[in-house]
A and B are shown apart, each in its own frame.
Chain A
């Protein structure tokens, strides 16, 4: 079956612009979470959604926002981009179940460069 799909894979923006990243989870997965990966800060949790509701949020400024649609697809938005927002943004989906490991399945990421 198809994996987690993230679009776009690469994008370049300038400071002050805004960006929207998209994530399509594995079919049947209702949980989607987002992570930011930078050389300096490593992998950091942004937020997670389950059945269109934000379930948890990381320690990021309000410029970072997200949402989840009824088909479980998710988007995240970053407004007023700063140089420090340059990163690999990873989306992960999970099958919510009490059995199994509940591992997260990650997409290949969207690499954002802010100039």
Chain B
């Protein structure tokens, strides 16, 4: 069954340091997409980065990069140069199937990141 596992309920990081948030997934589908979302206390889910299962390069978006290891079924988020505004809940999510077929996302339980000055 499709599943997303985030094993870090909470993490601390010093401002300007890099941090890695772990995510492993389980799927029998060959075509899938992996997402990371940030949820501040306001509640809105903010899209950060996407990795397609057939993408050979690791995705990068500014200070965010996704360490995609397909054989290990992991999709860790790396935030470089942490900022105080990065303090939030972070969710890893997976969409099975090709783009456009469905928008059903399976979410992990999230990691609460606290950036300390």
User: Which A residues contact B (CB, under 8 angstroms)?
Assistant: 31, 33, 35, 42-45, 48, 55-56, 58, 88, 90, 92, 94, 96-98, 100-109, 111
Q: Is the CB of A45 within 8 A of B100?
A: no
Q: Is the CB of B109 within 8 A of A101?
A: no
| Given A88-B43, A109-B43: A56 in contact with B104 (beta carbons within 8 A) | yes
User: Which B residues contact A (CB, under 8 angstroms)?
Assistant: 33, 35, 37, 42-47, 50, 52, 91, 93, 95, 99-100, 102-110
Q: With the chains together, A104 CA to B102 CA distance in Å?
A: 11
Which residues of chain A are within 8 angstroms of B102 by Cβ–Cβ distance? 48, 55-56
Which residues of chain B are within 8 angstroms of A102 by Cβ–Cβ distance? 33, 50, 95, 99-100, 103
Q: Which of B42, B44, B103, B108 has the most C-beta atoms of chain A within 10 angstroms of its own C-beta? A: B103
Which residues of chain A are within 8 angstroms of B109 by Cβ–Cβ distance? 42
Inter-chain pairs besides A33-B103, A100-B99, 19 sampled, C-beta below 8 Å: A31-B103, A33-B104, A42-B107, A42-B110, A48-B104, A90-B45, A92-B45, A97-B100, A101-B47, A102-B99, A102-B103, A103-B47, A104-B35, A104-B45, A104-B105, A105-B47, A108-B42, A108-B43, A109-B43
